[in-house]
Amino acid sequence: MWYELTPAPGMAGDQTEFLKRAQRAAGALGLCDRPNITDPPTWDEGCLIVATLQRRWVFVADRYGRAAVDRLARACGSTAAESDAPEILSEPLKWAHAYVPSGATLNRTAQDDESGGGDLRLAPPENGLIALNVRRIGHWEDDRLTDWLADEFNTQPDSSKLRRTGVSAARIMAATPDMRESQDAAKQAAAALDLGFTNLAAHPSHPGLGAVLLSILLELLLVALAVPLPWWTALSGLPVLGWAVWRKASMGPDADLTVRPRHRWWTARTRVARSSDLKTRSMGDEPTFGDRRRRIHAYAFQRSTFPLPAGALAACAMPPADSEAASTPLTLRPHVLEDTDGPLVGYDRESRPVRLSSTALYGGVALLGEPGGGKSNSMHGIATHVARTLKPDDVMVMFESKGADSIPILRRVAPGLRVVDCMDPSTPMIDLLGSGTPSERAVRFADLMRQALGPNQIGPRSRIQIRDAVFAALTLMGSDGWEDRCRAAGCRVPRTWADAAGLLLGCDGIGAARLMGHAANMLGDADVDAAIERLHGGRTDSGRPKIADGRLAEQLSAPMNKMDILNQCPRLVRPGRRVVSWHAILSHGGRFAINIGAAERGAHDAMPEQTRRLVGALLFQGLRFEIERSCAGWQARGRRLDLFVDELTDVTGSDGTDGGSGAQAMEWLREKGRAFGVEAFVGTQNPLQLDTRLQASFLGFMTVCCYVLRAPASASIAADAIGLDLRAVKTLGPHVIACSTVGSDGASLPPMVLSVPWFDGDPEAARAA
């Protein structure tokens, strides 16, 4: 079966790893074993390699099959796809093969370490090819190789790369329209393998000619013997001659390719020892003891057969990476993704669709890319597939940061979409307080604030202060005549419960906070009085505050800052606005978009960045904890919760100096969310915006996709996560994505570079998603 190898762009790895992969590939091709009585030789081990200027093909027998080809492809940093025989083999080219003449010598480079894949490259002629026919070393060749290397270097042969694991026997051929050019190409290819030979040669290949010449010689011999014998004996060799001529005439233009490396069936070759052969590495001449060292072992193989280390084999199969290319080339689809039924990621080099495995979606999908690179387009393509496969009781929740620009697209992507537009009071808002008494609701909000922002931003004291302020505000605003009490106390009438809590925490100054506390004390509620005393420190018998204004401002600064950020958008908690709980959303199923960007209707008002991040974190954490309470066992029951986050930094609770609690949420979704039916699809523009722990969780998703990132620091992070090198990520073209994912069995696949269709504007692409 023929396979074409195409480069997997920028696969990272050092020389040691390359040589280990090459040795494993040689073992998978049957080059490291020996036939025996229970496994007789079938002469199908090894491979054929055909190399042109821009392409590489490998032929492997069905006995070793796809697994061996994949090993070889991984060894040489490429991907393999089934292919027809190379078309160039059908052209009438002149073939030549390299050989080792008697005057060739083996220099000390045969003692060096094997060359890496970047050092050892074939340079096929522009109008021709280079080919290798590779087999395992025979039994007698193995012993002769050991003796030859030992005598050649006057030392233990295991120090030579020609004697290490995975060494095979190869016939090196070249073919061009001109015979002289073919011979030059064959010699250059043999020299490029860095075997340590000098003075190599090549001569024309004429497969089948030897049988014809031997048949002619046999016929001449029979004619000579026919003088004393009956005349008809002279004709007995004609059938053999006719067969040889017919065989030669019926050979195709690629007949030389199938000629296996020749064996030397005679006795081991020897030569006369020279003075240099009798030198040790540290002293003078060795003792000769008579005639014992007059002759030494010479070349171990038939002269047209070369020893081929495993690293050289992988380097010969390595497809050329276009170092002058302006953008990273597309790759081929791995064969394990041929029948997958997940969302469409893109199209490969041959315009074949590449889909994710549906079982891999529970491991999460991470999307990275510069602004305008196409990240949202891919997110919408995935959402199209998810919405199409959603069952009535499944839930789809999308946190959208682009607002008015994306909501119309999401309505088309997910028919029946219900939008929670945070900046549009005419739409419902997610309930931040929940139901219950003012005390229960205040505790719930304070806990949510701490869970969303983390203990570094909301410590234990800040949590209690938020709880007391919200409790007092809810109790006051739920009483009759609360506006009159505020006016009587001399304070501003708050617009919302969050505004009232902010006043109590000092958003309008400590003086206004004390006046608002006095209004709350007018209720005569002992619990409210206790909460105000914990907030403001109470008063002495003479009526003076126990805590000075400056010190109180310091104590309330952390919760005051957060409530002040929330109060910058009072329409979020406007009185009378309809609210819906996460529990209700998860209980009934459906498609929901949470718009934390600009409002879809009206003047497209948008929240300030700090407010957007605070509200996003509150909503995201509220959903995360409701999933834990309400979705246990969803996967076992066949239910799904598909969670989309357009921009991760908008829901992590980061304030620029602290990462918030996003890392814990991502870790929970990645490690435990599967049992709750969660499939997470998360995007971000720059991985450097994430703290170390959050970045590790985000890039630990089973599928990581990346559009172009030109900044070296961020591109390096993405390249490591996907398995490419830095240049490959920096030179991704427009609408091209690099993707690392797993198969349906969970095994990691080689990185892919794919062309992404326009899901947002092309109806055909949306239908194919």
Nearest-angstrom CA–CA distance, 27 and 498: 70
DSSP 636: T
Nearest-angstrom CA–CA distance, 119 and 450: 56
Is 70 exceeded by the pLDDT of residue 723? yes
Q: What is the pLDDT of residue 14?
A: 65
Question: How many alpha carbons fall within 13 Å on the CB side of residue 194?
Answer: 22
- What mean pLDDT is predicted for residues 537-548? 83
Q: What is the pLDDT of residue 181?
A: 94
616 and 651 in contact (C-beta within 8 Å)? Answer: yes
Strands (E) in 482-640, as ranges, are 579-580, 590-595
Token output for 370: 């510069």
DSSP 161: G
User: Residues, the chain, total?
Assistant: 769
Is 50 exceeded by the pLDDT of residue 708? yes
Q: What is the pLDDT of residue 323?
A: 43
Residue boundaries of the structural domains of the chain: 2-207+254-268+299-317, 216-248, 361-429+581-713, 438-573
- What mean pLDDT is predicted for residues 222-240? 75
> Closest Cα to residue 176, out of 166, 189, 164?
189
Is 70 exceeded by the pLDDT of residue 222? yes
Model confidence at 282, in pLDDT bands (50, 70, 90)? very low
pLDDT in tens, 112-147: 556 555 555 678 998 999 999 999 998 888 889 888
Q: What is the pLDDT of residue 444?
A: 93
DSSP 591: E
Other Cβ atoms within 10 Å of 720 Cβ, number: 14
Model confidence at 289, in pLDDT bands (50, 70, 90)? very low
Token output for 747: 């095994």
Token output for 530: 């206790």
Other Cβ atoms within 10 Å of 570 Cβ, number: 15
> Closest Cα to residue 702, out of 671, 736, 663?
671
Nearest-angstrom CA–CA distance, 515 and 497: 16
Is 70 exceeded by the pLDDT of residue 722? yes
Pick the CATH number of 361-429+581-713 from 3.40.50.150, 3.40.50.300, 3.40.50.1000, 3.20.20.80: 3.40.50.300
Q: Which residue has the higher pLDDT, 219 or 547?
A: 547
Q: What is the pLDDT of residue 707?
A: 94
Distances 192 to 81, 131, 283, 610 between C-alpha atoms, Å = 27, 13, 33, 61
pLDDT in tens, 497-539: 999 999 999 999 999 999 999 999 998 889 999 999 999 988 8
Nearest-angstrom CA–CA distance, 97 and 304: 7
Nearest-angstrom CA–CA distance, 96 and 183: 5
Model confidence at 107, in pLDDT bands (50, 70, 90)? confident
Token output for 732: 């991704």
- What mean pLDDT is predicted for residues 405-421? 90
Distances 419 to 138, 400, 572, 582 between C-alpha atoms, Å = 72, 10, 14, 14
State the distance between the two ends of the chain, measured CA to CA, in whole angstroms: 32
301 and 141 in contact (C-beta within 8 Å)? Answer: yes
User: For 223-287, what is the HEC assignment?
Assistant: HHHCCCCCHHHHHCCHHHHHHHHHHHHHCCCCHHHHCCCCCCCCCCCEEECCHHHHECCCCCECC
Distances 133 to 51, 168, 552 between C-alpha atoms, Å = 12, 10, 85
Q: What is the pLDDT of residue 645?
A: 94
- What mean pLDDT is predicted for residues 367-390? 92
Q: Which residue has the higher pLDDT, 428 or 322?
A: 428
- What mean pLDDT is predicted for residues 454-461? 88
Token output for 256: 């030389």
- What mean pLDDT is predicted for residues 280-287? 48
Q: Which residue has the higher pLDDT, 711 or 208?
A: 711
In the chain, the amino acid numbered 8 is A
Model confidence at 466, in pLDDT bands (50, 70, 90)? very high
Q: Record the pTM.
A: 0.69
DSSP SS3 for 214:
helix
Q: What is the pLDDT of residue 703?
A: 95
Question: How many alpha carbons fall within 13 Å on the CB side of residue 618?
Answer: 27
DSSP SS3 for 622:
helix
Is 70 exceeded by the pLDDT of residue 109? no
Q: Which residues contact 11 (CB under 8 A, 6 or more apart)?
A: 77, 723, 724, 725, 750, 751
The whole-chain average pLDDT of the chain stands at 86
Q: Which residue has the higher pLDDT, 679 or 78?
A: 679
Is 70 exceeded by the pLDDT of residue 657? no
Strands (E) in 553-660, as ranges, are 579-580, 590-595, 641-645
Percent of the chain with pLDDT over 90: 45
Token output for 735: 């609408």
Tell me phi and psi for residue 703, to 5 degrees. Answer: -120, 125
Angle at 311 between CA 307 and CA 312, to 5 degrees: 50
- What mean pLDDT is predicted for residues 390-411? 90
* Max mean pLDDT range (106-110, 319-323, 694-698): 694-698
567 and 507 in contact (C-beta within 8 Å)? Answer: yes
Tell me phi and psi for residue 354, to 5 degrees. Answer: -120, 115
Walk across the sheet containing 752-755 and list its strands. 353-355, 344-347, 752-755, 736-740, 703-706, 365-368, 678-684, 641-645, 395-400, 590-595, 418-421
Model confidence at 614, in pLDDT bands (50, 70, 90)? very high
Tell me phi and psi for residue 449, to 5 degrees. Answer: -65, -40
Nearest-angstrom CA–CA distance, 488 and 482: 10
Q: Which residue has the higher pLDDT, 38 or 330?
A: 330
Nearest-angstrom CA–CA distance, 122 and 735: 33
Q: What is the pLDDT of residue 690?
A: 87
Burial code of 480-503, b = ≥16 C-beta within 10 A, e = fewer? eebeebbeebebeebebbbbbbbb
Q: What is the pLDDT of residue 646?
A: 92
